[in-house]
């Protein structure tokens, strides 16, 4: 296509279009970002932090307006969309508030005691961010916030269905005082990305998206010796070993699976329930998802069609589906799949939408086995009234994140990222600012 388009998933209406960035404009943008780095990176940290803080404030001030944009772009309910904007504002605020601490010199205690040595954090240059459609503001914030504070410059290629929100973010950056060239929004094509990554002035790439996209970007980056941070898919386990409030645990499970219409990389997708609780959990979970009905559309007709194909394949291969209703265009009913076995082709796939897989575990060892029997390793959830057991299970889960007895606990100061085919690198928290940071060692003997 020659343009990015906003297509309202609730109606199928094409709301607006934005022309692709031309090859000449891409070259100009890359050159502008490279030229802007010298001045931006040498400004005092406090000045960069003040600008980033204002970016966050503008997000919060315009939460409803910005939320309405992504409701049009990808179907998120307005209250949830505004909540995403406010959380994005909190991420910018976190990096602004902690910039000087995170970027302070780190003294090295010298073995010989002669002179001094420090690790001095500094920027690396221009970065390319390739962002997804499911959290249009949040994903940008966790990439842009730390790197703008650090002094890197940013080229931002958003998802093709999110041109309006990406333009809004760029406009906020200008209003907040970000100098020209420091944050550049690109309506780039897939074909143009290879050239951007290969450009000598681009020093790293951060991508949130599919395994296929991650592999393609990492291959180009690898050939050009560029660092990559990849946040890819997930098929997060939700393990229930014991509970003193099954109703509350099931409510947590429903939220963990169906928030954002199930379209989150770190959503709980596989529910692994200890044998003695399995029947009661499944009955209660099924009852609660029936009450959800068809509340929100999925992000696009393509997303709904892809999920339908996976679910149909799972059933054709022996799984059982209980659904909360009939599929209707982009409106996909919440559902429960049981009876999935390792020989079912969907067993090892990620279901990106409001359909849960539920498994029965014989004991703790069996629960851990099922949880780790996946190519993904993003997040995980463990529910147990026995804290020692929960921590024991957490230690053995092959994932980047574990949440015990709670959901929706993400925060600006908590690192986010995974292992295996879920990617590598971390965003958010103190680790998020270290991915594209030069840890320069300075030793002096005078």
- Distance separating alpha carbons of residues 122 and 395, to the nearest angstrom: 34
Q: Does an H or E element contain 43, and which?
A: none
* Alpha carbons 295 and 143: distance in angstroms, whole number: 31
Residue 122, both tokens: 């500094």
The DSSP-derived string for 143-165 is HHHHHHHHT-EEEEE--TT-HHH
173 is catalytic: no
Is 231 one of the annotated active-site residues of the chain?
yes
Residue 402: other Cβ atoms inside 10 A: 19
Both structure tokens of 337: 């799949």
Contact 201, 34 (CB under 8 A): yes
CB-based contact 322:288 (threshold 8 Å): no
Are 183 and 157 spatial neighbours (Cβ–Cβ below 8 Å)?
A: no
**Looking only at Cα atoms, what is the longest distance across the chain?**
76
Q: Cα–Cα distance between 386 and 88 in angstroms, integer?
A: 34
Q: Which positions ≥6 away from 148 have C-beta within 8 Å?
A: 48, 51, 52, 55, 95, 154, 178, 182, 183
Q: What is the DSSP string of 210-232?
A: -HHHHHHHHHHHHHTT-EEEEE-
The residue annotated as part of the active site, out of 73, 164, 231, 349, is 231
Alpha carbons 256 and 254: distance in angstroms, whole number: 5
Q: Cα(408)–Cα(427) distance, rounded to whole angstroms?
A: 17
DSSP secondary structure string for all residues of 245-274: -HHHHHHHHHHHHHGGGG--TTSEEEEEEE
**Residue (of 161, 139, 159) closest to 300 by Cα position:** 161
Bridge partners, residue 438, by sequence: 122
Q: Which residues contact 291 (CB under 8 A, 6 or more apart)?
A: 324
- Please list the residues that pair with 358 across neighbouring strands: 271
Token pair in block for residue 300 = 């696009």
For residue 176, which of 144, 201, 210 has the smallest C-alpha distance? Answer: 144
**Helix residue ranges, H only, 43-162:** 45-61, 63-74, 78-102, 138-150
Q: Out of 162, 164, 265, 427, which one is annotated catalytic?
A: 265
Catalytic residues, which ones?
Answer: 231, 265
């Amino acid at each position: 296509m020659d343009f990015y388009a906003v297509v309202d998933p609730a109606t199928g209406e094409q709301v607006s279009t934005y022309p692709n960035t031309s090859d000449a404009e891409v070259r100009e943008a890359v050159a502008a970002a490279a030229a802007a780095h010298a001045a931006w990176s040498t400004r005092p940290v406090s000045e960069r932090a003040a600008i980033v803080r204002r970016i966050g404030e503008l997000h919060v001030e315009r939460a409803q307006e910005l939320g309405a944009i992504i409701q049009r772009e990808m179907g998120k309910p307005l209250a949830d969309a505004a909540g995403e904007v406010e959380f994005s504002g909190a991420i910018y605020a976190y990096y602004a508030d902690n910039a000087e601490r995170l970027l302070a010199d780190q003294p090295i205690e010298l073995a010989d005691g002669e002179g001094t040595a420090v690790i001095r954090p500094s920027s690396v240059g221009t970065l390319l961010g390739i962002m997804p459609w499911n959290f249009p503001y949040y994903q940008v914030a966790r990439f842009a916030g730390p790197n703008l504070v650090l002094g890197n410059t940013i080229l931002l290629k958003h998802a093709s269905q999110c041109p309006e929100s990406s333009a809004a973010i760029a406009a906020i950056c200008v209003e907040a005082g970000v100098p020209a060239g420091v944050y550049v929004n690109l309506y780039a094509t897939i074909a143009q990305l290879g050239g951007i990554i290969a450009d000598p002035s681009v020093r790293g790439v951060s991508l949130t998206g599919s395994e296929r996209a991650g592999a393609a970007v990492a291959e180009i980056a690898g050939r050009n010796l560029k660092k990559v941070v990849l946040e890819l898919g997930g098929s997060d386990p939700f393990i229930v070993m014991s509970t003193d409030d099954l109703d509350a645990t099931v409510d947590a499970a429903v939220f963990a699976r169906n928030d954002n219409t199930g379209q989150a990389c770190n959503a709980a997708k596989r529910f692994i329930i200890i044998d003695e609780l399995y029947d009661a959990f499944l009955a209660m979970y099924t009852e609660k998802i029936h009450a959800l009905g068809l509340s929100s559309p999925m992000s696009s007709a393509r997303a709904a069609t892809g999920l339908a194909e996976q679910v149909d394949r799972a059933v054709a291969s022996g799984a059982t589906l209980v659904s909360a209703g009939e599929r209707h265009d982009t409106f996909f009913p919440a559902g429960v799949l049981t009876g999935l076995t390792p020989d079912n082709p969907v067993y090892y796939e990620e279901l990106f939408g409001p359909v849960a897989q539920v498994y029965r575990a014989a004991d703790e060892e069996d629960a851990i086995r099922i949880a780790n029997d996946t190519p993904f390793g993003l997040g995980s959830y463990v529910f147990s009234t026995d804290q020692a057991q929960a921590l024991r299970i957490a230690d053995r889960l092959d994932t980047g994140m574990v949440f015990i007895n709670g959901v929706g606990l993400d925060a600006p100061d908590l690192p986010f990222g995974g292992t295996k085919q879920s990617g590598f690198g971390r965003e958010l928290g103190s680790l998020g600012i270290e991915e594209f940071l030069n840890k320069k060692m300075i030793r002096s003997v005078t």
